[in-house]
Amino acid sequence: MDLPLRNSRIKLPSGQVFWREVGQGPILVFLHGSWSDSSQWLPVIEYLHHNYHCFALDLLGFGESEQPKLHYSIQLEVECLLKYLEALRLAPVYLIGHSLGGWIAASSVIQSYQQVRGLVLIAPEGVLLKGQQNSWRKAQWLVGPPPIAYRILRSLLPLAKFLGRNKPIEHILQQRQLLLSSPTACKLLFQRRWSEIRAELLQDNLEFLKVPTLIVQGRKDSTEAIARSQIYADNSPQAQLQMINHGGNDLPESLPALIARYINEFVSNC
């Protein structure tokens, strides 16, 4: 990959934001997932930059963007994105978000859709599923301070190895390590009150998603991810759902040519 990227930074009210930029043409703004940064999108941009002006952001608190000591929320990320679009005078744009980035993109359109012509959501987060609060409690226990969960699991590991039952504990410890690899994602998703997170979920507001929307979902992803994409598709007035039979939870990285084709077809038909 030899993209002629331009790396830039801009100071916004909440902090400095870093982005990668390349190409000319209709404007595509890419928002990465919970455990990634803007480099996640480079394989997709490789196929699109000849015909589009591509902007790939590190969300506030992620990657090379500033990590200010603030109370992180979806609303903070939305305000930062809208300020970014305003400061660079980017309009009209197509927002493309994966996972957490999809939640932020959809929230931004619901709040201010005038400069957004279309929306592509790949396995988006941000809607309520049955039992989600219980899953949130488990993750919060696993990554929350003080690290009681980690200490308990580590203390049990020698006995579990002796009994031949160490794999479940090792899997949980690996999951903890993955979650903690993105401290800002943990703050956004697990280290806030459930009532605050619940208030930012979008299932009651998807009727206000008033732009053409493409939702892309891999069939080999988790049942929860598939259910979230279906909620978006069923409740957004201008949404279409594209299922990828052989796709998992890392579509931008694993199937970049296909994702780029879907984006190009969607933008061309908007």
Per residue in 97-152, pLDDT (tens digit) is 999 999 999 999 999 888 999 999 999 999 999 999 998 888 887 787 767 766 77
Per residue in 25-52, pLDDT (tens digit) is 999 999 999 999 999 999 999 999 999 9
Which pLDDT belongs to residue 140?
A: 83
Predicted confidence (pLDDT) at residue 73 exceeds the cutoff of 70 = yes
Class of domain 6-128+201-269: alpha beta
Which pLDDT belongs to residue 157?
A: 67
| Cis bond upstream, residue 147 (ω within 30) | no
- What's the 3-state SS for 193-241? CHHHHHHHCCCCCHHHCCCCEEEEEECCCCHHHHHHHHHHHHHCCCEEE
Which pLDDT belongs to residue 130?
A: 92
Which pLDDT belongs to residue 172?
A: 67
Which pLDDT belongs to residue 1?
A: 65
- The reported pTM is 0.91
Please provide residue 12's backbone torsions phi and psi, each rounded to the nearest 5 degrees. -110, 170
